[in-house]
């Protein structure tokens, strides 16, 4: 039986046949999807597509007070609607299910909330067209097995789901698993494709073994550093590694083989660089609470590598810059340098507030060489950076804090 979804954490496996039977036995549909179980979330999204109903994805991490602010203090169980079973009658096999999904019309939409690393999550509504803009469907993708390494209620997770779903692929959970289980899942389920944040990939290092069966690695959501890139090459020698630039508001926009993104000719009219910041035309965006006139400020600082064709390189997030006594420090730049130091597995750079310089730079490091000391880090950085950029407080930790989307957390602790 062809696998639809497997989750080593719950020790559960669901075939496509099981999914279809399960869908046919549902009596109610609730547009508010607030579950922690990935299979249930996937099933509800698929059901919403068949019924052509709106679905509102709520991260299971949201607290009751966050929910109250985002959707109002309503009892979501009151929104159960009976399902007209005739809509599901024709459903006998995976092919028919895929046909039904692909016939989805403009009535369907998905509402989700941005990760809210800088305040309250913002609501964004996408149509089937905008969410599947970059989905590639082909017979040659039929046997792909996707390692699912994102939160399924977030934009990146939904995009991976649609890429897998519309090609009738199997999905294997990797998100939130300890490193050993991730590698075990890759091997046992013969995963061919993984899409994740650079932080996710860095947490896999140093690797346990080599995984020949993985043929595609996609990375997005943060800047990808060279050290991780080269190490991933060794773990997944047959994989094509691609960087993707995507936002919750606009979905996937560009892809690159290295850190230089080429903006395709047809995309150029929707992209503008203003004061080094990447702006996206409103036409490319989902419906959102954010007030946009014509151009949306992404907050991503880029460098123009060439104008024709337009090629850009991502430098940092403008809200991530740390002000140390009037000097701006890009935490990504410092992290990249620390990651290159022998014995460093991963690092998180963040500000520590004080009444003298506003902030000083601090960092937490996960080391893979017990001999690595604070002095090695400082000595190394002193040859590369001005004094104000060098972390003043260095802590060695077992694990780094990450955000709900799996990116490195930059807030002060």
Partner 1 sequence: MITENLKKIINIILLSRGRKQITIVKEDSNLRNDFGFDSLDLAELTVRIEAEYDIDVFEDGLVETVGEIVRKIEKLK
DSSP 3-state assignment of 50? helix
Using rule CB under 8 A, residue 383 touches partner 1: no
Using rule CB under 8 A, residue 393 touches partner 1: yes
Give the nearest distance from C-beta 381 to partner 1 in angstroms.
11
Give the nearest distance from C-beta 360 to partner 1 in angstroms.
5
Residue from 352, 366, 372, 397 touching partner 1 (CB under 8 A): that is 352
Give the nearest distance from C-beta 392 to partner 1 in angstroms.
4
Using rule CB under 8 A, residue 387 touches partner 1: yes
Residue from 357, 376, 380, 403 touching partner 1 (CB under 8 A): that is 357
CA separation for the pair 142, 202 (Å, rounded): 29
Nearest to partner 1 of 124, 377 (CB atom): 377
Nearest to partner 1 of 213, 373 (CB atom): 373
Residue from 84, 354, 368, 369 touching partner 1 (CB under 8 A): that is 354
Using rule CB under 8 A, residue 374 touches partner 1: yes
Nearest to partner 1 of 188, 386 (CB atom): 386
Nearest to partner 1 of 149, 381 (CB atom): 381
**Which secondary structure element, helix H or strand E, spans residue 246, and what is its range?**
strand 240-247
Total interface residues for partner 1 by CB under 8 A? 17
CA separation for the pair 243, 221 (Å, rounded): 9
Q: Are 146 and 125 in contact (CB under 8 A)?
A: no
Using rule CB under 8 A, residue 396 touches partner 1: no
Near partner 1 by CB under 8 A, which window of 178-186, 218-226, 336-344, 374-382? 374-382
Give the nearest distance from C-beta 370 to partner 1 in angstroms.
20
Within positions 313 to 332, which residues make up the interface with partner 1, using CB under 8 A? 324-325
Encoded tokens for 199: 């932080």
CA separation for the pair 199, 391 (Å, rounded): 20
Give the nearest distance from C-beta 374 to partner 1 in angstroms.
7
Beta strands in 121-239 (DSSP E): 123-127, 145-148, 170-173, 193-196, 216-220
Give the nearest distance from C-beta 330 to partner 1 in angstroms.
17
Encoded tokens for 149: 């390494």
Residue from 388, 404, 407, 409 touching partner 1 (CB under 8 A): that is 388
Residue from 133, 392, 407, 409 touching partner 1 (CB under 8 A): that is 392
Give the nearest distance from C-beta 377 to partner 1 in angstroms.
10
CA separation for the pair 156, 231 (Å, rounded): 23
Using rule CB under 8 A, residue 86 touches partner 1: no
In this structure, what is the dihedral angle of CA atoms 51, 53, 59, 63, given to the nearest 10 degrees?
A: -120
Encoded tokens for 294: 């014509």
Nearest to partner 1 of 120, 378 (CB atom): 378
The closest of 114, 134, 135 to 124, measured between CA atoms, is 114
In this structure, what is the dihedral angle of CA atoms 130, 132, 134, 136, given to the nearest 10 degrees?
A: -160
Near partner 1 by CB under 8 A, which window of 19-27, 200-208, 309-317, 348-356? 348-356
If phi > 0 it is left, if psi is from -120 to 50 it is alpha, else beta; for residue 131 that is alpha
Using rule CB under 8 A, residue 262 touches partner 1: no
Using rule CB under 8 A, residue 380 touches partner 1: no
Sign for the pseudo-dihedral over CA of 283, 289, 294, 298: negative
Give the nearest distance from C-beta 351 to partner 1 in angstroms.
10
Residue from 63, 375, 383, 398 touching partner 1 (CB under 8 A): that is 375
DSSP 3-state assignment of 2? coil
Q: Give the burial class of 325: count Cβ atoms within 10 A of its Cβ; 0-12 exposed, 13-18 middle, 19 or more buried.
A: exposed
Name 307's Cβ contacts closer than 8 Å, sequence gap at least 6. Answer: none
| Residues in contact with partner 1 by the rule CB under 8 A | 324-325, 352, 354-357, 360, 362, 374-375, 378, 382, 387-388, 392-393
């Amino acid at each position: 039986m062809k696998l639809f979804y497997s989750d080593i954490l719950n020790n559960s496996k669901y075939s496509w046949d099981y999914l279809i039977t399960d869908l046919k036995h549902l009596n109610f549909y609730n547009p508010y999807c607030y579950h922690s179980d990935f299979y249930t979330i996937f099933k509800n999204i698929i059901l919403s597509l068949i019924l052509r109903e709106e679905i509102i994805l709520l991260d299971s991490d949201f607290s009751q007070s966050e929910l109250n602010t985002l959707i109002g203090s309503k009892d979501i169980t009151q929104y159960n609607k009976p399902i007209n079973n005739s809509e599901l009658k024709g459903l006998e096999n995976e092919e028919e299910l895929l046909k039904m999904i692909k016939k989805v019309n403009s009535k369907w939409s998905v509402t989700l909330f941005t990760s809210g690393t800088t305040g309250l999550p913002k609501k964004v509504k996408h149509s089937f067209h905008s969410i599947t803009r970059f989905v590639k469907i082909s017979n040659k993708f039929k046997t792909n097995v996707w390692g699912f390494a994102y939160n399924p209620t977030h934009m990146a997770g939904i995009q991976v789901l649609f890429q897998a779903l519309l090609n009738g692929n199997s999905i294997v959970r990797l998100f939130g698993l300890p490193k050993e289980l991730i590698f075990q899942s890759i091997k046992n389920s013969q995963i061919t494709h993984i899409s994740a944040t650079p932080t996710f990939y860095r947490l896999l290092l140093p690797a346990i073994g080599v995984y020949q069966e993985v043929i595609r690695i996609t990375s997005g959501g943060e800047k990808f550093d060279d050290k991780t890139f080269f190490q991933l090459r060794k773990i997944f020698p047959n994989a094509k590694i691609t960087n993707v630039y995507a936002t919750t508001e606009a979905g996937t926009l560009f892809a690159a083989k290295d850190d230089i993104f080429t903006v395709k000719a047809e995309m150029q009219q929707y992209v503008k660089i203003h004061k080094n910041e990447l702006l996206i035309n409103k036409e490319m965006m989902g419906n959102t609470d954010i007030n946009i006139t014509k151009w949306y400020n992404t907050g991503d600082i880029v460098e123009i590598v060439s104008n024709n064709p337009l090629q850009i390189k991502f430098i940092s997030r403008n809200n991530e810059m740390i002000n140390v006594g009037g000097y701006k420090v890009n935490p990504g730049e410092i992290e990249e340098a620390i990651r290159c130091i022998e014995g460093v597995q991963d690092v998180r750079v963040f500000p520590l507030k004080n009444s003298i310089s506003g902030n000083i730079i601090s960092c937490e490091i996960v080391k893979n060489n017990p001999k690595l000391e604070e002095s090695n880090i400082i000595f190394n950085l002193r040859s590369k950076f001005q004094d104000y950029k060098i972390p003043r407080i260095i802590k060695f930790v077992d694990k780094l804090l990450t955000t709900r989307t799996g990116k490195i957390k930059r807030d002060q602790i």
